[in-house]
Amino acid sequence: MNVEARSNELMNMDTAKEILQRYYGYPDFREGQKKIVDSLLRGRDTLGIMPTGGGKSICYQIPALMHPGLTLVISPLISLMKDQVDALTTAGISAAYINSTLSGKEVNERIRAAKRGDLKLLYVAPERLELDWFREEMAGLDISIVAVDEAHCVSQWGHDFRTSYLAVAPFVDALPQRPIVAAFTATATPEVMEDMQRLLQLDQPQVFVTGLGRDNLEMSVLRGENKREFIMDYAASHAHQSGIIYAATRKDVDDLCQRLQAQGIAAGRYHAGMSDAERAESQEAFLYDDIRVIVATNAFGMGIDKSNVRYVIHYNMPKNMESYVQEAGRAGRDGEPSQCILLFSPQDIITQKFLIEQNPQDSERKHNEYRKLQQMIDYCYTTRCLRSAMLDYFGEAHDDKPCGTCSSCTDDRELIDITVDAQKIFSCIHRMRERFGVSTVAAVLKGSRAKKVLEYGFDRLPTYGVMSGRTEKEIAETINVLVSEGYLTLTEGQYPVVKLQSAAAEVLRGQKEVMQRVPKPSRTKAGQRSAGRRDYSPSAVNETIFEQLRLIRRELASKEHVPSYIIFNDATLREMSVVCPQTEQEMLGIKGVGEMKFRKYGQPFLDFFQNQPGSGGDEPVYEF
């Protein structure tokens, strides 16, 4: 690289940092953001895999402000477009969206604004790219970047496949001059990453996979809980916090929502069985903090940019790791500590298999769904660090150091040697010729007199009844743990068969021990224990100031007709409550308070602190 090129690069990144501070209120990029922004400023096609809440939008919004012309953003949901455009216009950046909520006149006005150069970013749904008239209008614009959000939707092996995403590459190819193409998603396996590059026809892209294991999220898998009781206790003990509770069926959503409301908790619901108006009302109430908890199926969430969700609880196991990581990642988007709790029971497996069978799809895709489901089951049973297990699934390089905060890392249950039980299980599977599933193996080990066991003559096996002191459920759970730990594997499909792995042979030969943690006899309620999670509640005084700041923010948000977090997110308000800024300079030093936002919203907050007793040079009366 010559000196002039190096100088231009530094100037570009310095300018990008100035824009970041001015419009967004952050002094510097996160490491992953910096590399992606630099790639786009160099004019390179770019693929960014970043976690939910990792700041993907900044990665294309700042290059959009620095490149000449328009950045066209392909976005899958109306709610996502509106949130993004609200946030941009609030920060003083010219942006608009075109979607089905607009009249033909409004659409034409926005296209004319783009032609005049009045817009820097224009958000559209992928379905627009299939319309001849829209392609003709876009051909007349100076488009410098096409940013594809939720880019995993282009792959049929992704978890949200949408055929309209296949129109992106032909659309770009038909433009008079090829723009830079940037693709972003929160979750993608190596297989899906390859699909995104190929199907979007990225030109020798720079690929960045950054930080899927977010430090502020504490991941937990809890087995054997009374799920309803846990939800009620947890929601009551975290009543001041925003949370999402995901359930697999509409029936469970309705039931949990009714129970929470009966307990006096401000809760709403969201699922496909509700009318469009009902869903929109629930979503808006949640975004505007009119309700603190929303119970929903997976129909809710993609594109929801609410930053202050403090917990996400899965009442049922999701269908795959991609869905789980994306849904759990909606917690703590502001970087504040948050909890992600998965309540698992074997019934969840039956529910997900039923849903796979109910979904019309070709045999290859169904086969893939069963494979992904088994990987999700393995995650629920693993005793490994959950963050490491997740990163391994997505192929992200990481060190072997445990996170220290997930439910596996903080599990203080007694560690016992189960080598003899494992040998019994492995021997039984071998004698059954590796042709049967978990429940049948468990029945034989228990010594069941079930018809199937007797018909196959399994009651004559040496391993018949050798674990008669355990319940079939307990034996099945041990088998599933051994699957997750790699001693066994399950074939794919609706009725998986248990197979031995090489590690099992070592155990049978006495060359390897198998250890397992067992639960302690007593358990406390969800609201009284941490289950490996720390309590991040601020002090009472700090919370008082924080709530007063929230009231100021809410009043401003009501005037602007935007969700509160669009003004300032919770992390920014918490920092304000600690710093107690007295001057404009001190306000601008708080993360999330950019120059543009301070001009529009900063004064009421500054007035609040300047009018506190003890301000004006005296020590504040509050102690932190």
Q: Could you tell me which residue, 19 or 8, shows the higher pLDDT?
A: 19
Q: Is 403 domain-assigned?
A: no
Token pair, residue 426, equals: 């492995």
Is pLDDT above 50 for 527? no
pLDDT at 622: 32
Structural domain count of the chain = 4
Let me know whether 75 and 205 are in one domain. yes
Is pLDDT above 80 for 224? no
Kindly indicate the confidence band of residue 542, based on its pLDDT and cuts at 50, 70 and 90.
Answer: low
Is pLDDT above 70 for 234? yes
pLDDT at 615: 54
CA neighbor of 19 nearest in space, from 616, 623, 602, 596: 596
pLDDT at 536: 32
pLDDT at 304: 66
Report the range out of 4-13, 472-481, 559-568 with the highest average pLDDT: 472-481
Let me know whether 342 and 476 are in one domain. no
Q: Could you tell me which residue, 5 or 207, shows the higher pLDDT?
A: 207
Let me know whether 80 and 172 are in one domain. yes
pLDDT at 459: 95
Q: Is 170 domain-assigned?
A: yes
pLDDT at 480: 87
Query: What percentage of the chain reaches a pLDDT higher than 90?
Result: 46
Q: Which of 209, 230, 261 is the last residue of a domain?
A: 209
pLDDT at 95: 95
One-letter amino acid of 526: A
Q: pLDDT digit string (tens) for 264-295?
A: 999 999 998 999 889 888 988 898 888 999 99
Task: State whether residue 593 is helix, strand or coil.
Answer: coil
pLDDT at 209: 85
Is pLDDT above 80 for 339? yes
pLDDT at 488: 92
Q: Is 622 domain-assigned?
A: no
Provide the residue range defining the domain that includes 151. Answer: 3-209
Q: Is 553 domain-assigned?
A: yes
Let me know whether 512 and 577 are in one domain. no
pLDDT at 580: 87
From the number of C-beta atoms within 10 Å of its C-beta (0-12, 13-18, 19+), residue 561 rates as exposed
Kindly indicate the confidence band of residue 50, based on its pLDDT and cuts at 50, 70 and 90.
Answer: confident
- Lowest-pLDDT choice from 9-18, 105-114, 256-265, 341-350: 9-18
Q: How many CB atoms are located within 10 Å of the residue 83 CB?
A: 22
Token pair, residue 156, equals: 């049929």
Q: Could you tell me which residue, 617 or 228, shows the higher pLDDT?
A: 228
Let me know whether 369 and 389 are in one domain. yes
Residues 6 or more apart whose CB falls under 8 angstroms from that of 535 comprise none
Is pLDDT above 60 for 305? yes
344 touches 380 (CB < 8 A): yes
The CATH number of the domain where 445 resides is what?
A: 1.10.10.10
Let me know whether 198 and 237 are in one domain. no
The secondary structure element, H or E, covering residue 123 is strand 121-124
Let me know whether 181 and 267 are in one domain. no
Average pLDDT over residues 569-585: 87
The CATH number of the domain where 575 resides is what?
A: 1.10.150.80
Q: Is 526 domain-assigned?
A: no
- Lowest-pLDDT choice from 73-77, 105-109, 411-415, 502-506: 411-415
Let me know whether 434 and 565 are in one domain. no
Q: pLDDT digit string (tens) for 25-37?
A: 888 898 789 999 9
Let me know whether 183 and 164 are in one domain. yes
Is pLDDT above 60 for 175? yes
Q: Is 134 domain-assigned?
A: yes
What is the edge-to-edge ordering of all strands in the sheet holding 180-185? 95-98, 121-124, 70-74, 143-148, 180-185, 46-49, 206-209
- Lowest-pLDDT choice from 135-139, 185-189, 260-264, 450-454: 185-189
Token pair, residue 585, equals: 């300079």
Q: Could you tell me which residue, 560 or 303, shows the higher pLDDT?
A: 560
Average pLDDT over residues 49-64: 87
Let me know whether 76 and 157 are in one domain. yes
Is pLDDT above 60 for 86? yes
Let me know whether 21 and 124 are in one domain. yes
Q: Which of 164, 189, 209 is the last residue of a domain?
A: 209
Is pLDDT above 80 for 422? yes
Q: Is 401 domain-assigned?
A: no
Average pLDDT over residues 322-333: 88
Token pair, residue 33, equals: 């953001």
Residues 6 or more apart whose CB falls under 8 angstroms from that of 244 comprise 293, 294, 296, 300, 301, 309, 311, 312, 313, 327, 330, 331
Report the range out of 161-175, 481-495, 536-550 with the highest average pLDDT: 161-175
Q: Is 189 domain-assigned?
A: yes
pLDDT at 531: 42
Is pLDDT above 50 for 523? no
**Mean pLDDT score of the chain:** 86
pLDDT at 520: 57
Residues 6 or more apart whose CB falls under 8 angstroms from that of 343 comprise 222, 225, 227, 230, 231, 313, 314, 315, 316
- Lowest-pLDDT choice from 54-63, 94-103, 168-177, 559-568: 559-568
Kindly indicate the confidence band of residue 354, based on its pLDDT and cuts at 50, 70 and 90.
Answer: confident
Is pLDDT above 70 for 529? no
Average pLDDT over residues 52-63: 86
Average pLDDT over residues 567-577: 86
Kindly indicate the confidence band of residue 5, based on its pLDDT and cuts at 50, 70 and 90.
Answer: very low
Is pLDDT above 70 for 575? yes
Return d(Cα 464, Cα 477) in angstroms, integer.
18
Q: Is the dihedral of CA 473, 415, 485, 328 positive or negative?
A: positive
pLDDT at 411: 85
Q: Which residue has the tokens 């876009």?
A: 138
Q: Is the dihedral of CA 404, 410, 411, 414 positive or negative?
A: positive
Q: pLDDT digit string (tens) for 491-519?
A: 877 788 999 998 899 999 988 888 887 66
Kindly indicate the confidence band of residue 416, based on its pLDDT and cuts at 50, 70 and 90.
Answer: confident
Q: Which residue has the tokens 């972003």?
A: 184
pLDDT at 393: 87
pLDDT at 363: 77
Is pLDDT above 70 for 73? yes
Return d(Cα 41, Cα 16) in angstroms, integer.
9
Phi-psi region of 432 (alpha: psi -120 to 50; beta: other; left: phi over 0): alpha
Let me know whether 57 and 197 are in one domain. yes
